[in-house]
């Protein structure tokens, strides 16, 4: 693991607001059979939420990110550490073009709902 990422992870407290930049798998549909190497396959993701610790799976270690807390349960994203590019603390403003695969609303823990 990269040194800077390891330093950030060791200093985080559970419940701290973070923004995680990471790479997810990508799926292309209806790809011509003669296409071998597309120009871009990286699928960058920006996820925000509360740090929930690290979890060891059978094969990988994951960052536990609480993306929405409700009275009875929570929505949690588990991100493999090997796919994380960077982690930023307490970031409240993300450019709309970087938010992907979420509704157009970002919910903040114990606070208001901000439209982005």
Give the per-residue pLDDT at 39: 74
Is pTM beyond 0.75 here?
no
> What dihedral do alpha carbons 13, 99, 74, 59 form, nearest 10°?
-70
CA–CA separation, 45 and 111 (whole Å): 24
pLDDT category, 97, cuts 50, 70, 90? low
Angle at CA 70, nearest 5°, toward 68 and 73? Answer: 95
Give the per-residue pLDDT at 18: 94
Give the per-residue pLDDT at 3: 85
CA of 43: how far to CAs of 86, 91, 96, in Å?
15, 21, 16
pLDDT digits (tens, 9 = 90+) for 65-95: 999 888 889 899 999 999 999 999 876 565 5
What's CA 69's distance to the chain center, in Å?
16
pLDDT digits (tens, 9 = 90+) for 38-68: 777 888 999 999 999 999 999 999 999 999 8
For residue 87, count other CB atoms closer than 10 A to its CB.
20
Give the per-residue pLDDT at 109: 38
């Amino acid at each position: 693991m990269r040194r800077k990422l390891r330093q950030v992870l060791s200093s985080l407290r559970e419940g701290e607001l973070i923004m995680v930049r990471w790479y997810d798998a990508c799926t292309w549909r209806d790809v011509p059979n003669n296409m071998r190497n597309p120009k871009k396959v990286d699928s960058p993701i920006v996820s925000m939420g509360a740090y929930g610790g690290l979890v060891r799976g059978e094969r990988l270690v994951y960052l536990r990110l609480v993306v929405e807390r409700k009275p009875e349960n929570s929505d949690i994203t588990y991100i493999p550490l090997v796919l994380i590019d960077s982690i930023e603390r307490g970031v409240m403003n993300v450019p709309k073009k970087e938010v992907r695969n979420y509704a157009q609303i970002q919910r903040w823990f114990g606070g208001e709902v901000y439209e982005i």
